[in-house]
Amino acid sequence: MAPVVILIRHGEALHNILHDWELPDPDLTEKGVEQCKALMAELEPNLPFAQEECRIVVSPLRRTLQTVHHGLQWLRDRGVPVEVRAEWQETTDNPCDIGREPSSIMSEWPDFDFSGLDPIYPQKIDLYENSEEAFQKRASLVKRWLFRRPEKCVVVVTHSGFLKRVVQGPKFRNVEYRMYELVEGTEDLELSEISRGKASAKQT
């Protein structure tokens, strides 16, 4: 049986408030860190799964890695593994959406699992190019990957632009989470919403 999927958008980052898409791989703001703490306070008592039933998957960009660190540390402390996957990175080829070299990321996050990180990363080519065709192909791929996972729950921390291609619905707010079940649609797998948490920030 396919796992329940919890999709989370990262906390507020510097490019969100400065509207500066030329910032390379920006960090969370102080407000973004506080949003992550609010996410933890809301999600922890409402997660209906044991830690051994869960896995965390995260985009390799700094703002998503930091969101896991500040917002999901309680799961990590219980032994829930964190897997870093390039497929969940943001869509554009602006500097804010281009990640750093894996060697520098891995040294900063030594307890995260980078073994499944596509060696193409951080190049914006092939599956990761800035085109709608590539976005849709990547969205289909991640849904198929999730469908095959053995866990009962997979928590994914990713980005609003890519989330728009994975699921239909209004734009995710910073650190907003929504729970889904995977169902087989007419042409592809679909994510059917089960519930959603409270948004912790205004739309950015």
Q: Which of 43-52, 146-155, 183-192 has the highest mean pLDDT?
A: 146-155
CATH number at residue 33: 3.40.50.1240
How many structural domains are present in the chain?
1
Strands of 63-188 (E only): list them. Answer: 82-84, 153-158, 177-184
Query: Please, are residues 65 and 27 in contact by the beta-carbon 8 Å criterion?
Result: no
Q: Looking at residue 184, what is its pLDDT?
A: 87
Q: For residue 168, what pLDDT is reported?
A: 82
pLDDT of residue 201: 45
pLDDT for the residue 186: 73
Residue 199 has a pLDDT of 57
Does 203 map to a domain? Answer: no
% residues pLDDT > 90 (the chain): 89
Residue 89 falls within a domain, yes or no? yes
The whole-angstrom separation of Cα 39 and Cα 17 is 20
Strand runs labelled E in the chain? 4-9, 54-58, 82-84, 153-158, 177-184, 189-196
Structure tokens at 86: 């390039």
DSSP label at 172? Answer: P
Each residue of 5-34: b (16+ CB within 10 Å) or e? Answer: bbbbbbbbbbbbeeeeeebebbbbbebbbb
* Domain assignment of residue 16, yes or no: no
Does residue 198 surpass a pLDDT of 80?
A: no
Residue 108 lies inside a defined structural domain of this protein = yes
| Residue 203, pLDDT score | 44
Report the pLDDT averaged over residues 135-155. 97
**In the numeric block, which tokens belong to residue 122?**
């951080």
Residue 189 lies in a domain: no
Residue 197 inside a domain? The answer is no
- Give per-residue pLDDT as tens, 33-89: 999 999 999 999 989 898 899 999 999 999 999 999 999 999 999 999 999 999 999
47 lies in some domain: yes
Q: Which residues are within 8 A (CB) of 167 and not within 5 positions of it... i.e. 6 or more apart? A: 7, 178, 180, 191, 193
What does the alpha-carbon distance between residue 119 and residue 10 come to, in Å, rounded to a whole number? 23
How far apart CA 124 and CA 118 sit, in angstroms, is: 12
Domain containing 47: what range? 28-154+172-181
Q: Which residues contact 149 (CB under 8 A, 6 or more apart)?
A: 2, 3, 55
Interior angle at CA 149, CA 60 and CA 177, nearest 5? 55
pLDDT of the residue at 187: 78
- How far apart (Å, rounded) are the C-alpha atoms in residues 45 and 129? 39
Active site residues: 10, 159
- Decide if 199 is inside a domain: no
